[in-house]
Amino acid sequence: MSAAAHEQLIPSVWTRPRRGRREQPALSREYIVAEAIGLLDAEGVEALSMRRLAARLNAGATSLYSHVANKDELVELVVDEVYGEMEVPAAGGPEGWRAAAVSGAQSLRATLLRHPWLASVLGGSSFSSLGPRMLRNTEDLLAVFESGGFPLDEAHHAVRALLAYVIGAGTGEAAFVIALARSGRSREEWAERVRPVVAQAVRPYPRLSTWFAAQRGGGEPAASADAFGYGLDLMLDGLAARLVRASGAAG
């Protein structure tokens, strides 16, 4: 199959040869990606367009297309670049796999909160999982679970479950970070304005109302971290129990 035919089947930046530079020697793919991330961090995903990015780079829009074919490719590149911020510790062996998995999950959560737009573009980036940084992180997480005794197929399922949990939990947290930034208020000011609205909304539901009333006075960041850690523990407890059952069946 020719390279052109392969590109048509899988329209991804990771599956076609990198284009040479033609118009602006100073304009590189790396520079374009860095500025796109800066734009996303500053103004959110709605602000990202090839024309807007070209203006930020003080370049013509056509100059970008010498390095990135379209916006979809740009999103793949920025997602992979940001994923490079995630750190996965070395595989911890039978006694350390869980701590390594927790550390990797917390690192990804921190990345999502530093770049809250990331959660909103992941679902629309079909081939972002083919990026070298994302593949490296997946490989490292597989090694963590394998070192704990999970067969490779089970380790693969465990990694997918772990990433799905972190991204799912992080999406709600990221949405709060975005809303807070748009409001221009501090966390405390935001909480004071939102609290009576939520209290009114949950009043007809006794369990939710009781739970919400008990949260008063708790700091939002600490509460979010506690909730994230609780869910992560539940997931890893389940994986650990599955490993024990599999070991017992094998024995």
Asked if residue 21 has pLDDT above 60, the reply is: no
Region 159-184: mean pLDDT is 90
Highest mean pLDDT among 30-44, 114-128, 166-180: 30-44
Q: What global pTM score does this model have?
A: 0.83
Say if residue 80's pLDDT is above 60.
yes
Residue 126 in this model has a pLDDT that exceeds 70 = no
Predicted confidence at residue 177, as pLDDT, reads: 87
**Res. 8: pLDDT tops 60:** no
pLDDT of residue 124: 66
- Residue 189: per-residue pLDDT: 86
For 134, residues 6+ apart whose C-beta sits below 8 A from its C-beta are 79, 80, 83, 128
Percent of the chain past pLDDT 70, that is, above it, reads 86
Q: Picking from 66-70, 169-173, 212-216, which range would have the lowest pLDDT averaged per residue?
A: 212-216
What pLDDT, on a 0 to 100 scale, did the predictor assign at position 250?
Answer: 61
pLDDT, residue 243, reads: 87
Q: Do domains 3-83 and 93-250 have the same CATH topology?
A: no
Instruction: Pick the closest to residue 13 from 163, 135, 126 (CA basis).
Output: 126
Read off the pLDDT of residues 103-121 as tens digits, 9 standing for 90 and up.
999 999 999 999 999 988 8
CATH class of 93-250: mainly alpha
Mean pLDDT of 215-232: 75
Residue 6 has pLDDT above 90, yes or no: no
The CATH class given to the 3-83 domain equals mainly alpha
Q: Cα dihedral sign for 92, 93, 97, 99? A: negative
Kindly list the domain boundaries of the chain, sorted by start residue: 3-83, 93-250
Confidence band, pLDDT 50/70/90 cuts, at residue 146 = very high
Q: What φ, ψ does residue 180 adopt, rounded to 5°?
A: -65, -45
> What's the rounded Cα separation, in Å, for the pair 163 and 157?
10
